[in-house]
Structures are given as structure tokens and as C-alpha cells.
């Protein structure tokens, strides 16, 4: 069985009217919402309970950096797929690639760096159990 880091998580999403601008094209900021939903689903499918992580370990995930490319427009009522895969895991950060596709057409691509922060807002190490799951 391949490791989670070698696998690609796929998350379907439909474009609703509220996601679009006056021209019927997905508003640029909504791609960030789409990839956030996909990451949350991916984490849940790995068996990581973010509420328990916050309560037991005192840490939460936070986006540190996003590098995004808008390649082609999505439109009202399109059926999209967000693909997520891990690029790197260190003691303090998780780097992933996320793509939004319509069929085989790549519409949006992002490299997202995730870190853990403590309740104080200070950086924290990724919990050991999460590093094990991702390696």
C-alpha cells in the first residue's frame, strides 16, 4: 500500500452561482476556498481529528504561504476536482501541491505551505503522529 504522501486525494466540487462574478466566472478568491475544503477533507480521511489535535496537543494547522497560478476560468455549474498531494514533510512544515481541474483541463495550481501554531500563536512542531502518517 502506498504511503499517504505518495497518494493524491481527489475532492469534487460544483461551481455555484454565488461562486461567480458578473461574467459567470469563478471569482479568484474562491479557488482558495476550494483548496481549503479539499485539504480539510484530506486531513479528515487520514484520520486526523483537528479538534482533538487542538484540545490534546494545543496546536492547529495554519497556512504559511500560498503560491498560486490561475490558468483558465471555471464557470457557473462546472464540475471541478481538487487534487491534493504532499510534496514535503519536515518537523515544522508540510508542503503540498493542489490543483483544480475541469475534466483533464488544469484551471488553477497552488503550492501551499502549512505549519502548526500553538494557542499563543507561536510556531510549533508538527505532532509526531501526523509526521508518521505523512511519511
Q: Which residues are catalytic?
A: 21
Task: Kindly provide the residue ranges of all beta strands, DSSP E only, lying in 1-135, ordered along the sequence.
Answer: 9-14, 59-70, 79-89, 93-102, 105-118, 123-124
Which of 90, 85, 27 has the alpha carbon at shortest distance from 64? 90
Return d(Cα 86, Cα 97) in angstroms, integer: 6
Distance of CA 8 to CAs 39, 55, 86, Å? 11, 29, 8
Q: Which of 56, 69, 72 shows the shortest CA–CA distance to 119? A: 56
Amino acid at each position: 500500500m502506498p504511503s499517504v504522501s505518495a497518494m493524491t486525494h481527489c475532492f469534487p466540487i460544483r461551481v455555484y452561482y454565488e461562486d461567480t462574478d458578473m461574467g459567470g466566472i469563478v471569482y479568484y478568491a474562491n479557488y482558495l476556498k476550494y483548496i481549503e475544503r479539499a485539504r480539510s477533507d484530506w486531513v479528515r480521511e487520514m484520520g486526523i481529528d483537528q479538534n482533538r489535535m487542538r484540545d490534546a496537543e494545543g496546536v492547529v494547522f495554519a497556512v504559511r504561504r500560498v503560491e498560486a497560478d490561475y490558468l483558465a476560468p471555471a464557470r457557473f455549474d462546472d464540475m471541478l476536482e481538487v487534487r491534493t498531494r504532499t510534496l514535503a514533510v519536515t518537523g515544522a512544515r508540510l508542503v503540498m501541491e493542489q490543483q483544480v481541474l475541469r475534466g483533464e483541463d488544469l484551471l488553477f495550481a497552488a503550492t501551499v505551505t502549512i505549519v502548526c501554531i500553538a494557542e499563543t500563536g507561536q510556531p510549533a512542531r508538527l505532532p509526531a503522529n501526523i509526521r508518521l502518517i505523512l511519511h
